[in-house]
Structure 1
Amino acid sequence: MKYYTKIIGLLCVGIMAFGMITGCGMSEETGQKKAFQIVCTTFPVYDWTRQILGDRAGSIEVTLLQDKGVDLHSYQPTAADIKKINNADLFIYIGGESDDWVEKVLKTDAKDQPKVLRLMDALAEKVKEEAVVEGMQAEEEGEHDHDEPELDEHIWLSFNNAKIACNAIATALQQMDGDHAQEYIKRDGEYIGKLSEMDEEYGRMAAQAKHKAVIVGDRFPFRYLMDDYGITYSAAFVGCSAETEASFQTISYLAQKVDATGISTILTIENSDQKIAKTIVENTKAKNQKIQALDSMQSVTASDISKGETYLGIMEKNLSVLRGALNE
């Protein structure tokens, strides 16, 4: 499911890449050259990398491309972004539909291509098709440009996937910076331990929950998260949909689902205008359901990071939201 603007965006990438020149990797804050440069496309990848680097993060420049709050499905790289990628020692990305631009950038005529880690390759058969369940609004003609099944790129919303991704990142760091390989192995093990602890918390929460289903009045990027804990789901749109207006049939189905299950919380993704969720509430019998947001980490900003936002911090907040939604 592609946004229509992606065609124009990819053309722009090609034009910018054609005239791209490379330069030395410098720290923007100090002007001093770092030992290595790493570029990450999304916040979860960036945070995992920083966690595994540990104290080495002060000697290695890690750049997050998508730090302006733009939803990852709408992102297209700037000329400066392409230059950072071409100058990097290591480039880490998810590899889903929203990263279609990467292939074109990596085909540019740069002298030294970075080592590339595509995390969907690391996950292999654990990558799932995008969830399409009863009641979801069908996509409009033109959103699909091929007949292949759509793979769900929101792989980071599973602790099991996160562990595999972190192992792959740690391996790439060892290959890049062999002198500190043991540090990366140690930090990776410690961080995976933290991921496992929170995974267990989610498991206990789901096992003790009053409800075993959620209703999402929005796009649905949470398949991996819900599948991990046996939580069923109904939603307005698939995870990468460009739709913003739900049909009467979709609203009616979800409202009836709320009435039938007794669920008292409608979920949305972060930064939602809640329009669809509010319309669902208005069409239920009780008309008093709460609306809460689960954070899919698709629009974390540099400001959020400077205030201490982390992957585990966001997932802990999501745990609280989900616990409320499944028990009220």
Structure 2
Amino acid sequence: MFIRKFSAAAMSMAAAALCLTGCSASVTSQEAVKKGQAGASSDKLSIVCTIFPEYDWVKEIMGDHAKDADITYLLDSGTDLHNFQPTASDIMTISSCDLFIHVGGESDKWVDDALSEAVNKDIKVIDLMDVIGDRAKEEEIKEGMEAEEEEEGEEETEYDEHVWLSLRNAKIICKEIADQLSALDPENAADYGSSFEDYSKKLDEMDESFRTLTESSDKNTLIFGDRFPFRYFFDDYGLDYYAAFVGCSAESEASFKTVSFLAEKIGELKCDTIFTIESSDKSIAESIIRNSDNKKCSIAVLNSLQSVTASDLKSGVTYLSLMQQNYDVLAEYLG
């Protein structure tokens, strides 16, 4: 039984959150807000996830027990992780939850403040970057890529936050989720452990499918006319790439130098496909093609699982279904 008391402190924190968020647009659905408010006085287990993979993994591991929990997905409007700022309602939802799961890294700098004012002082927290430990990778600047200028005095190493795109990382993180759920709800620990074992096998099977695909191909380099959030995924399978921007870049315009470099690579590598991520307007990719020797080069989309909406959830998408879509796209290019 999970009992929480809704105190005056929560109301004070909501007011403080309004000051912190200022004019930031709300990105939490009404359903999520209602769940968070209900969680403050409910005996249900309350879990808050920032991004879609976390949300889907929790549901998979909880299995039938998920219907008895309040599981909130904060970014269900499709807002990019790197642009997200929590609203007062988001802070309230986090404040009273039992388990909070977030990515970590530069984009989650707001988390420390949110947790420091939490009503529930026993919140368990899963930071994906911390969970994968030494597997975390620094952002990589490749040849020809637009490099963002460092702010004066900036020396801190920035890590690539897109850890969820590695199926091997996913397995490590899911084990941590299962362990934390078991600690919170020991009566159902055996079920969580069993669900993790079943899901782990599915992750392994997909991992093996990607390994077989990439090892059997005579191609191993892809060109992205976009940001590149797939470093963890590519490193798992020995793939190489050229891209316009790093994965966490806030830039949206590529210089002529970068466009020309990638256009030359299309000819050099005899590429018939250039890649973008799901949220791209494809304008940079189209510009690269126009400046290349292969005007018939096609554009393919790989899903970085950063823009999954509440509507997508209703249609039944899952982490594995979106990764399968990526497999199908890569199979066309690598096959």
* Length-normalised TM-score, structure 2: 0.87
Q: Show the counterpart of 1:291.
A: 299
Q: Show the counterpart of 1:36.
A: 45
**CA distance 1:201–1:122, change in 2 (3 Å):** same
Aligned Cα root-mean-square deviation (Å): 2.2
**CA distance 1:295–1:34, change in 2 (3 Å):** farther
Deviation at 1:115, TM superposition (A): 1.3
SS at match of 1:254: helix
5+ unaligned residues in a row in structure 2: which ranges?
1-15, 22-32
- 1:314 paired with 2:322, answer yes
Distance 2:132 2:310 in 1: 27
Name which structure has the greater RCO, CA cutoff 8 Å, separation 6+: 1
Q: How does 1:91-240 map to 2 (within 5 A)?
A: 91-108=100-117, 110=119, 112-142=121-151, 146-240=154-248
SS at match of 2:163: coil
Aligned residues of 1:213 and 1:326 also touching (Cα < 8 A): no
Question: Residue by residue, what CA displacement relative to the aligned partner does 1:6-51 show, whole Å, maximum 9, x if unpaired?
Answer: xxxxxx857259xxxxxxx975899993521000110001101110
Question: Residue by residue, what CA displacement relative to the aligned partner does 1:173-195 show, whole Å, maximum 9, x if unpaired?
Answer: 01110110000000001001000
- 1:268 corresponds to which of 248, 256, 276: 276
Deviation at 1:325, TM superposition (A): 2.5
Distance 1:73 1:35 in 2: 31
**CA distance 1:145–1:50, change in 2 (3 Å):** farther
**CA distance 1:175–1:250, change in 2 (3 Å):** same
Aligned residues of 2:225 and 2:276 also touching (Cα < 8 A): yes
Aligned residues of 2:97 and 2:120 also touching (Cα < 8 A): no
SS at match of 1:137: coil
Distance 1:99 1:40 in 2: 12
- Write the letter of the residue equivalent to 1:152: D
* Length-normalised TM-score, structure 1: 0.89
Deviation at 1:131, TM superposition (A): 2.1
Q: Show the counterpart of 2:19.
A: 15
5+ unaligned residues in a row in structure 1: which ranges?
1-11, 18-24
Question: Residue by residue, what CA displacement relative to the aligned partner does 1:74-94 show, whole Å, maximum 9, x if unpaired?
Answer: 111111110010110111111
Distance 2:332 2:207 in 1: 17
The number of equivalent residue pairs is 309
Report percent identity of matched pairs.
Answer: 47
**CA distance 1:110–1:230, change in 2 (3 Å):** same
Question: Residue by residue, what CA displacement relative to the aligned partner does 1:206-257 show, whole Å, maximum 9, x if unpaired?
Answer: 0122311100000010001111111101000001101111011101111111
Aligned residues of 1:106 and 1:113 also touching (Cα < 8 A): no
Aligned residues of 1:44 and 1:156 also touching (Cα < 8 A): yes
SS at match of 2:142: coil
Distance 1:34 1:198 in 2: 37
